[in-house]
Chain A
Amino acid sequence: MADTKIIVNCETGEVTELELTAEEVKQREADAIAYAKAKADEEQAAAEKAEAKAAIAERLGLTDAELALLLG
């Protein structure tokens, strides 16, 4: 069965279930790809930041706990 959408008309109370249009299906697929990319990009940026922080801590001779304390 094709994916559908539920539409509740707030003026009439009528509820309809319609098949997604080709455009809506395409948009949904694009949204999924865009989400995965955005999340991956943010996770990579966070990982790179953590790595840079660890490198600085190592140069300063600080433990993770000491660094966390400093950064509050």
Chain B
Amino acid sequence: MATYIQIATATGTGSSSSLTFSSIPATYTDLLVKFSLRSDTTGLTNFNITVNSTNPTQRNLEGFSTSAPTSDTVTYNYAPASGITASTYSNGELYIPSYLSSNSKSVSLDNTSENNATGSNRLELTAKLYSSATSAITTISITDIYGNWTNLSTAYLYGISKS
């Protein structure tokens, strides 16, 4: 049975574009980041997640409104901002298995970017590969590319142990 231990919480301030967990302890098997994000920029924003300061390559399966799902390889995901219904967020999680491994890290992300308007909700499923992250992960950063994370934006980091 897996045990989830909350390691840390990062909260936006309205003036910070990046939420970073540093000095992540090497005492777990996997890591999980659960996030709820909203930007102060206009419309939608895009965010990038780096581990140990390295960027991923990734494949996204994206569903938007009533359109057929599409797929792309851009290295960013979506979050709502000031043009989107108030108090809606990008809700999702990032799962990092075997974060202590000396191999590249394969990471999964699921994310919904809310918008309480008919046909405007968005779903993303993403497979990320951090090919340059070949040591234990000690740092994870979630960066808003166009604006700053609002002060109700949160990210929670969990360590997962096998037992």
Seen from chain A, the residues whose Cβ lies within 8 Å of a Cβ on chain B are 1, 3-13, 15, 17, 20, 28, 31-32, 35, 38-39, 42, 46
- CB atoms of A35 and B46 under 8 A apart: yes
A10 and B23: CB pair below 8 A?
A: yes
Chain B residues, CB < 8 A from A9: 22-23
Q: Given that A38-B74, A39-B74 are known contacts, is A28 also in contact with B25, CB under 8 Å in the complex?
A: no
Partner of B10, one of A6, A35, A38: A6
What 5 pairs between A and B have smallest CB-CB spacing?
A5-B18, A11-B23, A38-B74, A7-B20, A4-B16
Q: Are B70 and A46 in contact (CB under 8 A)?
A: yes
A-binding segment of B97-105, B114-122, B142-150: B142-150
Q: Is the CB of A3 within 8 A of B16?
A: yes
Assembled-state Cα–Cα distance A33/B24 (Å): 31
Asked if B75 is at the interface (CB within 8 A of a chain A CB), the reply is yes
For the complex, would chain B's binding face be called helix, strand, loop or mixed by DSSP majority? strand
Query: What interface size band does chain B fall in?
Result: 20 to 34
Instruction: Give the CA-CA distance A15 to B70 in the complex, in Å.
Output: 39
Q: Chain A's nearest CB lies how many Å from the CB of B130?
A: 16
- Give CA–CA (A51, B16) in the complex, Å: 43
Cβ 8 A contact of A8, one of B9, B25, B48, B143: B9
Asked whether B20 lies within 8 Å of A31 as measured between CB atoms, the reply is no
B146 contact set on A, CB distance < 8 A: 32
- Contact partner of B15 (CB less than 8 A), chosen from A1, A28, A38, is A1
